[in-house]
Each structure stands twice: as C-alpha cells, then as structure tokens.
Amino acid sequence: MDYTQLGRSGLMVSRLCLGTMNFGPETSEADSHAIMDRAHEHGINFFDTANVYGWHKGEGITEQIIGRWFAVGGGRRERTVLATKVYGFMGDWPNESRLSALHIRRACEASLRRLQTDCIDLYQMHHVDRTTPWEEIWEAMSVLRHQGKIIYVGSSNFAGWHLAAAQEAARRQYVTGLVSEQSLYNLLTRWVELEVLPAAREYGIGLIPYSPLHGGLLSGVLRKQREGEGSRSITGNSAEALKANRKRIESYEKLCADLGEDPANVGLAWLLHQPGVTAPIVGPRTAAQLDSSLRAIAVALDAEVLARLDAQFPPPAPHGDQPAPEAYAW
C-alpha cells in the first residue's frame, strides 16, 4: 500500500480509503468486521463513515458496527485513521442536525460513544450550513480539539467558495481549518475540477473522492450485463445514467480491455493520477470486492491513455483552452 499526507497536514493515510456506508444496510456485521480486518491486512489505514449511515434516524448503525470491531482490540483502533461526519438529521427536534455549536458538540459525543473510542481523527462537516456563521463552527471545533475529542477537521460537498470562506474564517481565528474535502468525483462527474479542486490545492486541502465508479457504471457494467451479472448497477437512477452515457461507457470498456485492466481499477487509477486527490473511497460489500480494488494502486496510466480518457470523458470547462478556475473567462 502507498501512503500520502492528508492535505497539508502531517497525517499519513493510505491511497485508498475504506468507505463503510454499506455496513449494516447491505453488509452484515460479521462481513463488515471481516472487510475491516482485510483492509488492515492490505495496509489500508483510512476508514470513512458518518453518523447517519445505517439510515435509521438517530441510531448510527454503521458507527456502532465499527465501534464493536474496535472493541475486539488487537490494535484495530490504533492502526486506523478514523473519519466520521456531522450534519445530517439525527432526530426530529430542532438542533438535531446541521452545524450549530450545540449540535456539533452533542453529535461528536454521540459518535464517540457509538464508535467506542475517545477521539475522532478526522471530523467532517457532511454538508455546508448556510445558516450558521463560520466563527461559531470553528469555535465549536476548536473546543472539541482542545478537549481531545477530535484532531483534524474536514468537509464534504463544499463548493470552492465554501472552502475559501471556511479557510479565511479559520485564519482569522488562528486555527488550522480544513485539511480535507470529500466530493463526488469520477470520470463521469468532473464538476469539482472547475473550482473545488483549484481551491483545495490552493489551501492545501486533500480531496477524497466518493462514488469513484459512479454507482457502478465505471466498473464494467456492460461486460457484466453480457455475462449475466451486475443487475444491481442497472436499476433506478443508474439505469437512466447508463442509457444517457452508453456510448461513452462502451468506448471506456473497450479501452480498458485494450489495456488488459478491469474498468473499476482504471477508474480508481485515473483518480489517483489527478493532482490534489488524496484517496478515493472504495465501498465494498464483500471482502472479495475490497481485494480486487487493490490492483488500482499499481495501474500506471501514461499520458496517451490519460488523453484518451479525457477525450471520452471531457472535463467540464466551458472553454477547453483555459485552465480552471479561469475556464469561465474568454
């Protein structure tokens, strides 16, 4: 496994991040524990979760599963860089969601109980809160840090403007600010390249892409259809996205076949080749899926292949001859 610093921080994390959103809803607790054990065997030390995962309001089912795995001992917690999130609805009463100082404090303490740990390594804001001033947010995060309950702060689903506003407010209060941003990013969805990635690189914020295979569409979905597999990837919104992007995905799978690589590994490898990306999040439902994703670390994409991928999945710049964020200009 390769490791890199998380943004401008000194924290070293694996180039793949284990996503746990399937733990509970899709994957049993026993299988979830086996996946986390396997992740450590592979050298993956970066685990991502959220207090809302498990999708039963207020219960934090996924955090509980991780907490019971930590409780087994054997150095599991010590070897893990643990990231969770705050923002989502944990109840129906006021102050049971978003980023008020009150909710941040209560949500952090509840996550610590469920995770059976005394400190969260990376505490991420799951979404921007336009109603709470940054001064209040950073004061609340600073209190948690001084209490030893969190170490680093990250964000998720922030625009470039939000990253800039957050960092400038942190600077005014003489605090570290954000070290990471978790964004939707893959070959089919490259909007973060316009402003989020430039802002993140400018401020030393590491980007953690989620949905790196666009809900399975970049994992060889057409090949799986031909082989009678992958029915989960072609239902609902994924079916509509496949219909809209079928020609591009056909070309992509042909390119991957020419390279002799699995499409899923090429999609992950492409993200690992993008400047500013720290670690794509892989969310396996089985240990076998996790095993197969490790190949992405070793896949080297040369300039010709990267250019072919850009041609198949063009960046979203209105004027292709201008770099982002100036791409809007003439």
Q: Which of 316, 188, 319 is nearest to 248 (CA)?
A: 188
**53 is an active site residue:** yes
DSSP letters, 76-102, are TTTT-EEEEEE-S-SSSSTTSSSS-HH
Rounded Cα distance, 296 and 269, in Å: 5
Q: Which amino acid does the sequence have at 273?
A: H
Between the alpha carbon of residue 49 and those of residues 90, 121, 150, 151, 302, the distances in Å are 15, 12, 15, 16, 33
152: DSSP letter: E
Burial grade of 197 (CB within 10 A; 0-12, 13-18, 19 or more): buried
Tokens of 299: 């896949």
Peptide bond into 284 cis (omega under 30): no
CA 68 to chain centroid: 23
Q: Torsion-angle region of residue 41: left (phi > 0), alpha (psi -120 to 50) or beta? A: alpha
The catalytic position among 3, 53, 174, 185 is 53
Q: Measure the CA angle with vertex 148, ends 142 and 153; round to 5°.
A: 50
Could you tell me if 151 and 182 are in contact, meaning their C-beta atoms sit under 8 angstroms apart? Answer: no
Tokens of 20: 């746990």
Q: The tokens 């100036």 sit on which residue? A: 326
- H helices within the chain, ranges in order? 29-41, 61-71, 101-115, 134-146, 160-172, 196-203, 221-226, 236-259, 263-272, 287-293, 303-312
- Annotated catalytic sites, by residue? 53
